[in-house]
Amino acid sequence: MKALVAGSTGETGRRIVEELIKRDIPVRTFVRDITKAQEILPPSVEIVPGDVLKPETISAAMEGCTVVLCATGARPSFDPTGPYQVDFVGTKNLVDTAKAKGIEHFVLVSSMCVSQFFHPLNLFWLILFWKKQAEEYLQKSGLTYTIVRPGGLKNEDNSDAIIMKAADSLFEGSIPRQKVAQVCVEALHIPASRNKIVEVITQPDSTNQPIAELFANV
């Protein structure tokens, strides 16, 4: 297995890289800014320059990889096309290349509430709407996929239990980015994660369960 991580300079993406390294999975990171990546990512990690909006760079980066994890996301900005470009077109470009390259598993970090058009987060240039379009594109692509929809993301990890539910079951809650990264990386080894959309948050008063069991129960 060799993983390509898109969005690896992001707060979740860098944790996905960490979790891959912990499991000895070879990883290549796909980044827009090499200098920034060198500051953020472990020195041993392979860094390839590119942009999800430039398909030719994706194709070169995916060469030799067998799985893809995508944790890209439009940065808040005044550009009304940001989420359309990054969260839809960018992901679509990754999916198209993954299909052409015979990628075995595509893990996408999406978001809780993507099915709610009237959600306040859609005031940020329809970000949830465009994430949902990307999810649907991936689902229809024929690739083996796992779509992970986290609640509000937190940088601080904690020992709370992960709650995992089927699509459109959770509407509030948060989760540490480290746990989202663990779910994404574990999914690569768990047959029950294949072709599923899961929503994840954490709760302090619940019992911790292995991630494989969580996937099996969705």
Interface positions with ligand NAP (CB under 6 A): 6-7, 9-13, 32-33, 51-53, 71-73, 75, 86, 90, 109, 111, 150, 152-153, 177
The answer to whether the CB of 112 falls within 8 A of the CB of 149 is yes
CB-wise, 196 or 216, nearer to ligand NAP? 196
First and final CA of the chain: distance in angstroms?
Answer: 25
Q: Rounded to whole angstroms, how far apart are CA atoms 30 and 6?
A: 5
Residue nearest to ligand NAP (CB): 10
Task: Work out how close the CB of 154 gets to ligand NAP at its nearest, in angstroms, rounded to a whole number.
Answer: 8
Nearer to ligand NAP (CB atom), residue 26 or residue 173: 173
* Amino acid letter, 137: Y
Min. distance of Cβ 83 from ligand NAP in angstroms?
8
* Closer residue to ligand NAP, CB minimum distance, 186 or 191: 186
Task: Determine whether 122 is exposed, middle or buried from the number of CB atoms within 10 Å of its CB (0-12, 13-18, 19+).
Answer: middle
Dihedrals φ, ψ of 30, to 5°? Answer: -115, 110
Which residue's CB is nearer to ligand NAP, number 55 or number 188?
Answer: 55
Rounded to an integer, what distance in angstroms lies between the CA atom of residue 85 and that of residue 40? 24
Catalytic positions are 111
| Distance in Å, CB of 3 to ligand NAP, minimum | 15
- Give the separation between CA 187 and CA 19, rounded to whole angstroms: 12
Least gap, CB of 194 to ligand NAP (angstroms): 21
At 118 the three-state DSSP class reads coil
Which residue's CB is nearer to ligand NAP, number 77 or number 217?
Answer: 77
45: which 2 tokens?
């990690």
Distance CA 200, CA 187 (A): 13
